[in-house]
Structure 1
């Protein structure tokens, strides 16, 4: 599955036509059909509905100019709708091109008067495939609306929707820039459960390495390291995004709201620290794997050394008595007194076997006293 997602991302990159006019909207062929959701609210008003088409959506928005609106569009599979969005909301075609080519790094751009274009990335961890799944979330802020666009139908913003429904907190009475902050805050909050799941997975890998290291385990560790590199490439721009919003002018983000963005910036810094710790731990897992494999090889060599040490003196004895030195000269009948006279003794064979057996027992006892068998 992870390979399939990577293949699709490569297909998206290959589908981009080189040399075309900047801002040209090319909708990927696998894009989902768009779904339109609208939440309109104020201190006294709340309406939430899913609309059938873009025209109904705009009619609902225009029907309540006094309210604040969260315009939530999921799916890019309608180029005409995207072009209409550019026209109705005064967006730049280059911005919509970044939305469609949805593997952009997190960033924020100011356009128009007190309007922002924000890209962030929503993350979740796939326990089945042991990989990160990230989806781009694009936000456009206006005087009385926040427009969000994403390629998938599912996201991590349901807690925020529930807060708006039940009227918890001050989100209904705050300006739309606060709602943009709330979305970014929820996205960042979901990074921490992802890090917790990665931490549990790393503990699982550690147990595998300690119990029985294998090449599959090493492959899993290396895949995890690549996922952490990917996570790091996402988290650092998220921190830069928050930092840039903190430096914006008072007329764009009031000082009363910057305290919230500062809190989100702190969360991004904590996230980066966690990522760096996990990267160090993944490197330690590789070192642990190599150490365990080396120890395992040492144990194998130890067994082979003991076996060789036992058979070397036996081979020496057998080699001596395997030499064909005759005791008697076959031509003259002369007897050679130093030509292994024990070969012709009636009990020489069992005596030799007993000597070899005694030597084996002695060696085993000697190795035991030296502690060679204690680690088995």
Structure 2
């Protein structure tokens, strides 16, 4: 799954056509048909509806200028709709191009009338495939609306929708910029469970390395390092984006909202620290793997050394007596000096076996006192 996902990411980059006019909308062939969701509310009322067409959505927004609207469009499958959306909401074609080419780094841009264009990335950890899945969320702010666009139907914003439905908190009483903050805050909050899942996976890999390291374990560690690099590549721009938001004029970000964006900035800094810690832990897993494999190889060599040390003197004895130098001259019957007197010695064979067993026992006692058997 991870490899398929990386291939899909590369295909998005390779599908970009060189030489096209800036701002050209190149709809991906796998893009979903758009779905239109609208939340309209203020201090007094709330309305939520899924609409069948972009025209109906626009009419409802224009019919209630006194309300605040969350316009949520999921799916990029209609180019004509996107082009009309660009015109109706006064968006720049280059911004819409960034929306469609949805592998952009997180960023924030300020354009006409103190409106903002924000890109963030929603994360999800796949426990089955041990990989990250990220979806771009594009956000536009206006005087009485927040417009979000994403390529997928599912997202992580349901807790925020539920808060708006039940009127929990102050979101219905705040300006639309607060709703933009709330969306970014929920997206950042979902990074922490992802990092927590990765931390559990790192602990599992550590136990695998200590119990039974193999090539599959090493491959999993290297894949994890790639996912952490990707996660860090997303988290750092998220932090930079929050810094830019805090530096904006009060006309764009009211002073009363700075405390909320500072809190989101603190979360982004904490995320970067956690990701860096996990990267170091993943790198240490590679070192632990190499050390464990090396230790196991040393244990194997120790066993082979003990076996060799036992049988080398035995092989010497057997080889020596296997030469069969006769003690007597077969022709004259004379005793030959310095030849093997043990050849005709009574009980020579059991005596030699006892000597060899004694030698083995003495060697084993020696290895034990040296501590060679303690790690077995």
Q: Which bracket does the TM-score occupy, shorter chain normalised?
A: over 0.9
Q: Per-residue deviation at 1:3?
A: 1.5
Confirm or deny that 1:33 pairs with 2:43.
no
What is aligned with 1:188? Answer: 188
What is aligned with 1:226? Answer: 226
What is aligned with 2:157? Answer: 157
What is aligned with 1:257? Answer: 257
Q: Per-residue deviation at 1:315?
A: 1.1
What do residues 337-366 of structure 1 show as CA deviations (whole Å, max 9, x unaligned)? Answer: 211121122422222122111211221222
Alignment of 1:42-57 (within 5 A): 42-57=42-57
What do residues 210-232 of structure 1 show as CA deviations (whole Å, max 9, x unaligned)? Answer: 11111111111111111111111
What is aligned with 1:270? Answer: 270
Asked if structure 1 preserves the Cα contact closer than 8 Å seen for 2:326 and 2:343, the reply is no
SS at match of 1:102: coil
SS at match of 1:5: helix
What do residues 227-267 of structure 1 show as CA deviations (whole Å, max 9, x unaligned)? Answer: 11111100000000000011111111111111111110011
Between 1:315-324 and 1:240-249, the stretch displaced more is 315-324
What do residues 23-69 of structure 1 show as CA deviations (whole Å, max 9, x unaligned)? Answer: 11000000111110000001012100000111111111111111010
Asked if structure 1 preserves the Cα contact closer than 8 Å seen for 2:126 and 2:133, the reply is yes
Q: Per-residue deviation at 1:329?
A: 3.8
Q: What is the CA–CA distance in structure 2 between the aligned matches of 1:131 and 1:272, rounded to whole Å?
A: 18
Asked if structure 1 preserves the Cα contact closer than 8 Å seen for 2:108 and 2:245, the reply is yes
Q: Per-residue deviation at 1:316?
A: 1.2
What is aligned with 1:235? Answer: 235
SS at match of 2:173: coil
What is aligned with 1:102? Answer: 102
Q: Per-residue deviation at 1:90?
A: 0.8
SS at match of 1:113: helix
Q: What is the CA–CA distance in structure 2 between the aligned matches of 1:105 and 1:334, rounded to whole Å?
A: 100
TM-score normalized by structure 1?
0.97
Q: What is the CA–CA distance in structure 2 between the aligned matches of 1:189 and 1:250, rounded to whole Å?
A: 26
Confirm or deny that 1:318 pairs with 2:326.
no
What do residues 181-220 of structure 1 show as CA deviations (whole Å, max 9, x unaligned)? Answer: 0000000011111111111111111111111111111111
Q: What is the CA–CA distance in structure 1 between the aligned matches of 2:305 and 2:82, rounded to whole Å?
A: 73
What is aligned with 2:129? Answer: 129
Q: Per-residue deviation at 1:333?
A: 4.7
SS at match of 1:374: coil
What is aligned with 1:6? Answer: 6
Between 1:341-350 and 1:355-364, the stretch displaced more is 341-350
Q: What is the CA–CA distance in structure 2 between the aligned matches of 1:6 and 1:255, rounded to whole Å?
A: 42
Q: What is the CA–CA distance in structure 2 between the aligned matches of 1:361 and 1:208, rounded to whole Å?
A: 38
What is aligned with 1:178? Answer: 178
SS at match of 1:122: strand
Q: What is the CA–CA distance in structure 2 between the aligned matches of 1:10 and 1:371, rounded to whole Å?
A: 55
Asked if structure 1 preserves the Cα contact closer than 8 Å seen for 2:23 and 2:96, the reply is yes
What is aligned with 2:85? Answer: 85
Q: What is the CA–CA distance in structure 1 between the aligned matches of 2:122 and 2:261, rounded to whole Å?
A: 18
Unpaired segments of 5 or more residues in structure 1? none
Asked if structure 1 preserves the Cα contact closer than 8 Å seen for 2:115 and 2:142, the reply is yes
What number of residue pairs does the alignment pair up? 376
Asked if structure 1 preserves the Cα contact closer than 8 Å seen for 2:71 and 2:146, the reply is yes
SS at match of 1:132: strand
What do residues 131-165 of structure 1 show as CA deviations (whole Å, max 9, x unaligned)? Answer: 11110000010001100000110000011101100
Q: What is the CA–CA distance in structure 2 between the aligned matches of 1:277 and 1:178, rounded to whole Å?
A: 32
What is aligned with 2:199? Answer: 199
SS at match of 2:172: coil
Q: Per-residue deviation at 1:330?
A: 4.7
Q: What is the CA–CA distance in structure 2 between the aligned matches of 1:174 and 1:367, rounded to whole Å?
A: 78
Q: Per-residue deviation at 1:325?
A: 2.4
What is aligned with 2:343? Answer: 343
Instruction: Give the aligned CA root-mean-square deviation in angstroms.
Output: 1.2
Confirm or deny that 1:58 pairs with 2:61.
no
